[in-house]
């Protein structure tokens, strides 16, 4: 009888150990929750930690019909609720914005080049809202909003220069631009500022200091807006993501330990281009060594965060991305072949909407291919 009881007790203990969830390291700083993640991911039972990709469609920038239509390049892009995509290209002939259906077929263009009402000189895409409004910042001079058919809804002349504007769903704006009153000496400061509906300042959420050292590997400063959250990374803080609500309240800090990566020839090619060696100019000054902890990041509709590290994946062109759950816990890793952000604040080149990954991928010819994948979590 005693032997039976011992066996039953052992089974119960094993079952309880097997169902035990990991203890997440948390602390608080100034009343703000801090999630501390380590090099290896937490394993949380019942929660997916990785995904596979199923290709839905792609838009090849070498296509002859796109060139004939006047589309010369593909830059920032976004998708509406139906899966139609809107692509901004700086080299387009007449219109800056081209619309494609959810099969990758072109269905029109708008945003004519010029200085009149609804016309654009140098656009930065704010995004496509849930209500079907496409917002653009025309090189800091004006804020423009179109409907999904390219009809001008409103246009606002900006009182202060802003390089990029995100229209938040609570009616406020997130602006990014040069702030001379914060700059001094041999550096200048850009600020990410929360503004009211009239573009009046409410609060500076973060700032980026540029020392103008002519480095091609610009220190990272990036943000993303997803749902009711604002996510910010700043190289001055290392591998750390700050999470705000849409009213500018700091809710959480997400930290992670990381493996240091030395600069490689493949990374030099990705940043400087494969022909940089022909110049004969020493390139070491262009790179930090070891490299920064991350290259870019994005967030999905559910609040997951995906961070591109410099760790190489198993196949050429792949790099490892860290995956964080909506609570800021590091839960998995995934190797992906996605074109690099290119600019320090990370324009909208890679994003997730309604369970689909939208990304740029560079072809062997050097042209970009814009690819849409369905994400299958497991």
Assess if residue 184 is contained within a domain.
yes
Reference 217, options 281, 323, 296, 162; nearest CA is 296
Instruction: Give me the pLDDT at residue 214, please.
Output: 54
Number of domains comprising the chain: 1
The first and second tokens of residue 134, run together, are 């496409």
Reference 69, options 104, 103, 109, 100; nearest CA is 109
| Band of pLDDT at residue 22, cut at 50, 70 and 90 | confident
Q: Which comes out higher in pLDDT, residue 272 or 66?
A: 66
Average pLDDT over residues 337-365: 82
Average pLDDT over residues 198-223: 81
Assess if residue 18 is contained within a domain.
no
Tell whether the model's pLDDT for residue 15 goes beyond 80.
no
335's CB contacts (< 8 A; 6+ apart) are 313, 314, 315, 318, 319, 320, 321
User: Residue 69 sits in a domain of what CATH number?
Assistant: 2.120.10.30
Rg (CA), the chain: 23
Assess if residue 3 is contained within a domain.
no
118-174 residue pLDDT tens? 999 999 999 999 999 999 999 889 999 999 999 999 999 999 999 899 999 999 999
Average pLDDT over residues 92-106: 94
**DSSP string for residues in 300-318:** -TTS-EEEEEEEE-SSTT-
Assess if residue 196 is contained within a domain.
yes
Instruction: Give me the pLDDT at residue 13, please.
Output: 44
Assess if residue 61 is contained within a domain.
yes
Residue in this structure with the two tokens 């917002």, named with its chain if needed: 135
CA 306, chain centre distance (Å): 8
The first and second tokens of residue 299, run together, are 């967030």
Instruction: Give me the pLDDT at residue 365, please.
Output: 82
| Band of pLDDT at residue 3, cut at 50, 70 and 90 | low
Q: Could you tell me where the DSSP H helices lie in 262-331?
A: 265-272
Assess if residue 172 is contained within a domain.
yes
Domain span including residue 196: 24-377
Assess if residue 15 is contained within a domain.
no
Assess if residue 324 is contained within a domain.
yes
Reference 333, options 42, 139, 4; nearest CA is 42
Instruction: Give me the pLDDT at residue 319, please.
Output: 95
The span from the CA of 194 to the CA of 186, in Å, is 26
Tell whether the model's pLDDT for residue 369 goes beyond 80.
yes
């Amino acid at each position: 009888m005693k032997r039976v009881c011992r066996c039953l007790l052992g089974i119960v203990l094993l079952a309880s150990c097997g169902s035990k969830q990991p203890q997440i390291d948390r602390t608080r700083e100034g009343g703000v929750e801090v999630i501390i993640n380590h090099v290896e991911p937490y394993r949380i039972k019942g929660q997916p930690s990785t995904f596979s990709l199923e290709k839905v469609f792609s838009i090849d920038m070498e296509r002859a019909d796109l060139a004939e239509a006047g589309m010369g390049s593909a830059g920032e892009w976004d998708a509406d609720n139906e899966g139609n995509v809107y692509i901004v290209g700086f080299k387009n002939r007449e219109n800056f914005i081209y619309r494609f259906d959810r099969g990758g077929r072109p269905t029109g263009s708008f945003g004519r080049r010029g200085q009149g009402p609804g016309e654009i000189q140098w656009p930065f895409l704010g995004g496509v809202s849930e209500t079907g409004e496409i917002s653009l910042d025309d090189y800091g001079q004006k804020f423009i909003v179109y409907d999904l058919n390219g009809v001008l809804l409103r246009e606002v002349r900006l009182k202060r220069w802003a390089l990029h504007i995100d229209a938040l769903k609570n009616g406020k704006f997130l602006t990014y631009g040069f702030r001379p009153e914060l700059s001094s000496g041999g550096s200048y400061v850009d600020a990410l500022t929360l503004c009211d509906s009239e573009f009046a300042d409410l609060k500076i959420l973060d700032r980026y200091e540029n020392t103008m050292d002519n480095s091609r590997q610009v220190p990272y400063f990036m943000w993303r807006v997803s749902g009711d959250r604002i996510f910010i990374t700043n190289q001055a803080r290392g591998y750390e993501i700050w999470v705000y609500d849409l009213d500018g309240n700091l809710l959480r800090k997400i930290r992670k330990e990381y493996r240091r990566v030395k600069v490689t020839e493949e990374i030099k090619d990705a940043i400087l281009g494969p022909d940089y060696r022909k110049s004969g100019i020493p390139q070491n000054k262009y790179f930090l060594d070891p490299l920064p902890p991350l290259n870019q990041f994005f967030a999905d509709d559910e609040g997951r965060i995906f961070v591109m590290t410099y760790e190489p994946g198993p196949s050429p062109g792949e790099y490892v991305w860290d995956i964080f759950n909506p609570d800021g816990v590091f839960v998995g890793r995934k190797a992906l072949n996605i074109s690099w952000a290119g600019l320090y604040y990370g324009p909208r080149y890679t994003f997730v909407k309604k369970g689909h990954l939208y990304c740029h991928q560079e072809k062997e010819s050097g042209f970009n291919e814009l690819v849409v994948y369905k994400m299958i979590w497991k």
